[in-house]
Structure 1
């Protein structure tokens, strides 16, 4: 692993070289005042209110004496020690992130919001999971076969983490590639030690089959189907962080915190995190202070690419998963077997004047967000911090992947296969795309020796995507287009990664 400073240079250079700036500094969340995405004040503060110098989630009640679960985002990791000042029933800080978790009455919510180093006080809100021929559709089968390439690529040099419901660790397609199977073993608010993750080896940690299905789309070997239902990268290393049947923001942030800590300590070398979940806060503007947005930024600075499901709230526009709006992550929409955008797949914002901010320019948003994290005061940043389109799209309808016979998903959608079953949603297109990203990393590592920066891979997947595959494609729905991993691997093999200014997105619906 490289040290933090060299990692930062590698991850930012691809983007910043194309927008003509040279930002440098720490990965601490910093700045003066609350940050939001340049919309009118009414829209920007939707779902939050200002208290002291911080934003506060309006799901929290400062007037209530009842204990409320909160996530507190600080300027930097050093400031987290202020939690020790609280006369609280329970309060802990994370190891690597400028975030704490606590149970506080309303009066202490106000106290914390008034601390100068606090940027955002969030509720511990619940998250929602965003629920064969995908290899052919994305050209992953051609990459695995080595067609037109120097050699076949199957992900053997790559390690992908999945934050999900869990994994059937003894599934014959998954067990050979399973490096770690972390189960959340603590109870927030009961134990004082933040040692929340334990490797339980090949135990089945999946309560419903969602995580097992996603993991198979990335790196299932296909051994029980003669290769027919192999994942996109069947030789990849897999790590699962199990949040059980339903994730909450504390669990997912804790997973990122543990993952980053192990990365820094050299316990693993993960390149990609697949995230098939999101919040129910539909239409909310991008909020850089959100605990999970902070976590994915810190992971990005460690050289890790986060891939997020777009969400299943389509076909209306303005429904995109808020975590897919971050300019440093790859958001993924879903199509059906014919390549048409699935009705359920969430869409971004149209560029028709409906919204004050409808930015599709990843480079501009990334530059602004990097400045924010480098300490530029929020009121001095002129421009968007998020992107309001999908990144790419991939098959997400009736995707066949690994399941156990009695997994809930398999019971709801019965199939004759013993070890597999179909599932639909952007939850499925997300790991398909994460597996494609693994092939790009694999080619780069195999041919050039080092892992590329996350933005190199993200920009190359977008720049090589096919926005003209269907005349009906729009930027809101598919972003840069349908994934063509063979084209992306060709560029990775040659060391010719795309910069963000090469990305062409499909037209907005307003332009059609």
Structure 2
């Protein structure tokens, strides 16, 4: 779901809901978001601080933005070229004044970051499954590792000289099979393979990285960078750095031919193409043949996001698993390719009718993934990032990469775990269990992320103990409130010529009220094989340029996309230009080609199922929350914003929209059947996907007798606990000591009702206030002889939360999630 609504509605919410809470006098509260680390640093700051300032808008900071900094006396910093961001050195007073200025979106401390290197298997629940006593017992006393399951790495090759994936033991076969038709002798010859090659990855290192993610043993890192299924039998099929359709087909052919030699049950493909789904494409035919032989086929969704209609066409086949790339915080990577909302169809093949949808199947970790580095020849992949992220002793053996190429082998490894647990599973059953056990991802629809974020623990729980999952998935829910929007799509062509730069454009009109415009092209290059090194740009009526960039990820995809939220009305231009590698070359490098493309515009026409919110102060927040699928109305078309929020309603909303994993761990005493899956999810340990290692408490709690009290009403202190837990900030909340305070202008004010906040919840209230998820109420008092008025602040922890109150809080939560 697009973020077009967020900025405007956040501003409306802040203006209409924060300011009215100051009844006695107009308070000068900040509209900028300050992160918790900065708030803490400001409390004791004497010297200037290094901070990151983000302004409203897109593109580089404007002249007005930069003049604002100068006006405040800020003279040291840098301004980015394509993002509305500056890094500055500023005093406490300057930061506080800057936070009060319109147009300043957020200010964050320029803190040292901690790389999340070895935690992808923790995030997906693989680590939890390995240490689960019940699962070990059901698996003969040993953790599930994918033991004996053959996984084909259909990629650039695999370096079997690496101890993590050592040829002859863990890597049971390694095939060198780059097929060059021009070099063959005359005649129609049977395909031949060079088998038993220790190292087939002599060019890119891509396949070696993929292999380590699927099933590397972590031998060279004392297990730290172990893959998902270290017991699996890996089979490398290496096509080299340049991959063609025939090479990809060779991998499928080899897998089917040697299926029984190596118990091949999985084939992972971190490559693809561009264009529409064609069931008759030879790759699709090959993937179906493998599927029909009981081999689970996985394809990367592609790296051409965030625009729609960028989905790898080979990943659209209904018999394969398409994998999108997620961040390690549970969100979707910007580069991850999206499908197209509402697009799909049926077709006949082999006497059967199949239905396909243009959407990924599942999302898995795909950003900053550390895995095995090709050793021979020595690879320099991501050398600068690696030096900062990987311990020096491990640098020769591991490297960091990002892409759906990295997400796909995660799911391939999880598939191997499932097949060890139950070898009778069919590819369709595996796909279904991965979807049913996924975690809803806040703010996204199925055409972007599929069923949601992969959950290996729940998938194994479902397979090994016959547990039922999937009743909480947004993908299968019937909602009562909706955003009514229309999408118009129109095709265009550009006769691209690198010499005639000014003619490589196409003009179109964006009407008033359009919330999003995107453009997509297919630039196939030489003989439709290489990909054309061109850049796609959208140019607004005021001349602002939005660029797709040129993908240099392996392999070079032909499609380019660029999307703009809240575009200006008027005449826009599509511009195609060549790759600029040399400043002395104003034309750029590109190949002459007639390039086809698609313009998509989205317009919101209103909302349905919200018949009773007109004039309500929370109306804007409710609309935003519905648009991001984080609240829902009632079946009679109302929302009832002034009705107190029930605990069972809160549980449903949380699972819908704040990143809560499914769970079947608790027995519940007082919950109706329809609410059970939602309540089990929110009370489980490790409920929040932001809790990467599954150690925090639930986001809601049972009482001492194990009751949930589903019809109980939620108060503000409880809501602070819930939303802070959902952000994965339990540690920060529990470390808090002292009085709860709130920022007012340049000072921290102790809450008047601090003593009425339960001791166990004080830290949660403090974090919620600091993140602007919940707000305090300010009053100003001045006696007849007082020279200076006194400002007081209160939180009202026992006050009941209405459904409208929750919509306001959860939209602020959503902004914190996006940060």
Counting matched residue pairs gives 347
Deviations 1:345-378 (CA, angstroms, capped at 9, x unpaired):
0011123xxxxxx14xxxxx6xx55xx22246xx
User: Is structure 2 residue 494 aligned with structure 1 residue 493?
Assistant: no
2:349 corresponds to which residue? 373
Contact 2:171-2:234 within 8 A present in 1 as well: yes
Q: 1:323 aligns with which of 294, 314, 321?
A: 314
Is the partner of 2:154 in helix, strand or coil? strand
CA 185–337 in structure 1, closer or farther in 2 if over 3 Å, else same: closer
Is the partner of 1:421 in helix, strand or coil? strand
1:431 corresponds to which residue? 409
Deviations 1:468-490 (CA, angstroms, capped at 9, x unpaired):
xx422321221101000111111
Q: 1:409 aligns with which of 339, 361, 381?
A: 381
Deviations 1:399-437 (CA, angstroms, capped at 9, x unpaired):
010103522524474434221111000000000111111
Q: TM-score, normalised by structure 1?
A: 0.64
User: Is structure 2 residue 337 aligned with structure 1 residue 343?
Assistant: no
Is the partner of 1:505 in helix, strand or coil? helix
The whole-number CA distance in structure 1 between the counterparts of 2:384 and 2:213 is 19
User: Is structure 2 residue 152 aligned with structure 1 residue 161?
Assistant: yes
Structure 2 counterparts to residues 132-211 of structure 1, below 5 A: 132-149=118-135, 150-151=138-139, 152-175=143-166, 176-184=169-177, 186-189=179-182, 190-191=184-185, 192-211=188-207
1:236 corresponds to which residue? 232
The whole-number CA distance in structure 2 between the counterparts of 1:482 and 1:186 is 36
Structure 2 counterparts to residues 22-41 of structure 1, below 5 A: none
Is the partner of 1:271 in helix, strand or coil? strand
Q: Once superposed, what is the RMSD of the aligned Cα atoms?
A: 2.5
Q: Which runs of 5+ in 1 are unaligned?
A: 1-131, 352-357, 360-364, 446-450
The whole-number CA distance in structure 1 between the counterparts of 2:133 and 2:209 is 27
The whole-number CA distance in structure 2 between the counterparts of 1:146 and 1:444 is 17
Structure 2 counterparts to residues 5-404 of structure 1, below 5 A: 132-149=118-135, 150-151=138-139, 152-175=143-166, 176-184=169-177, 186-189=179-182, 190-191=184-185, 192-263=188-259, 266-279=260-273, 281=274, 284-351=275-342, 358-359=343-344, 368-369=346-347, 372-375=348-351, 385-404=355-374
Deviation at 1:254, TM superposition (A): 1.8
The whole-number CA distance in structure 2 between the counterparts of 1:321 and 1:147 is 39
Question: Which one has a bigger Cα radius of gyration?
Answer: 2
Contact 1:165-1:209 within 8 A present in 2 as well: yes
The whole-number CA distance in structure 2 between the counterparts of 1:215 and 1:310 is 18
The whole-number CA distance in structure 2 between the counterparts of 1:239 and 1:389 is 29
2:439 corresponds to which residue? 466
Deviates more, 1:289-298 or 1:181-190: 181-190
Higher strand share: 2
Contact 1:474-1:506 within 8 A present in 2 as well: no
Deviations 1:117-168 (CA, angstroms, capped at 9, x unpaired):
xxxxxxxxxxxxxxx2110110011122235423420111311101001011
Is the partner of 2:287 in helix, strand or coil? helix
The whole-number CA distance in structure 2 between the counterparts of 1:185 and 1:309 is 21
Contact 1:459-1:503 within 8 A present in 2 as well: no
Deviates more, 1:162-171 or 1:198-207: 198-207
CA 226–506 in structure 1, closer or farther in 2 if over 3 Å, else same: farther
CA 391–185 in structure 1, closer or farther in 2 if over 3 Å, else same: closer
The whole-number CA distance in structure 1 between the counterparts of 2:401 and 2:179 is 30
Contact 1:206-1:212 within 8 A present in 2 as well: no
1:457 corresponds to which residue? 430
Deviates more, 1:436-445 or 1:388-397: 436-445
Deviation at 1:255, TM superposition (A): 1.8
User: Is structure 2 residue 452 aligned with structure 1 residue 475?
Assistant: no
The whole-number CA distance in structure 1 between the counterparts of 2:428 and 2:380 is 36
2:646 corresponds to which residue? none
- Which aligned segments of 4 or more residues in structure 1 are displaced greater than 4 angstroms? 410-413, 495-499, 501-504, 506-511
CA 134–295 in structure 1, closer or farther in 2 if over 3 Å, else same: same
Contact 1:173-1:220 within 8 A present in 2 as well: yes
Deviation at 1:198, TM superposition (A): 1.9
Is the partner of 2:381 in helix, strand or coil? helix
CA 269–337 in structure 1, closer or farther in 2 if over 3 Å, else same: same
Contact 2:291-2:319 within 8 A present in 1 as well: yes
Deviation at 1:498, TM superposition (A): 7.9
Is the partner of 2:176 in helix, strand or coil? strand
Deviation at 1:495, TM superposition (A): 5.1
The whole-number CA distance in structure 2 between the counterparts of 1:267 and 1:433 is 23
Contact 1:145-1:153 within 8 A present in 2 as well: no
Contact 1:208-1:408 within 8 A present in 2 as well: no
CA 386–141 in structure 1, closer or farther in 2 if over 3 Å, else same: same
Is the partner of 1:278 in helix, strand or coil? coil
CA 269–329 in structure 1, closer or farther in 2 if over 3 Å, else same: same
The whole-number CA distance in structure 1 between the counterparts of 2:384 and 2:446 is 33
The whole-number CA distance in structure 1 between the counterparts of 2:474 and 2:329 is 23
1:56 corresponds to which residue? none
The whole-number CA distance in structure 2 between the counterparts of 1:154 and 1:200 is 24
Q: TM-score, normalised by structure 2?
A: 0.40
The whole-number CA distance in structure 2 between the counterparts of 1:278 and 1:326 is 12
Deviation at 1:293, TM superposition (A): 0.3
Contact 1:206-1:242 within 8 A present in 2 as well: no
Higher RCO (CA-CA < 8 Å; seq separation 6+): 1
Deviation at 1:202, TM superposition (A): 1.8
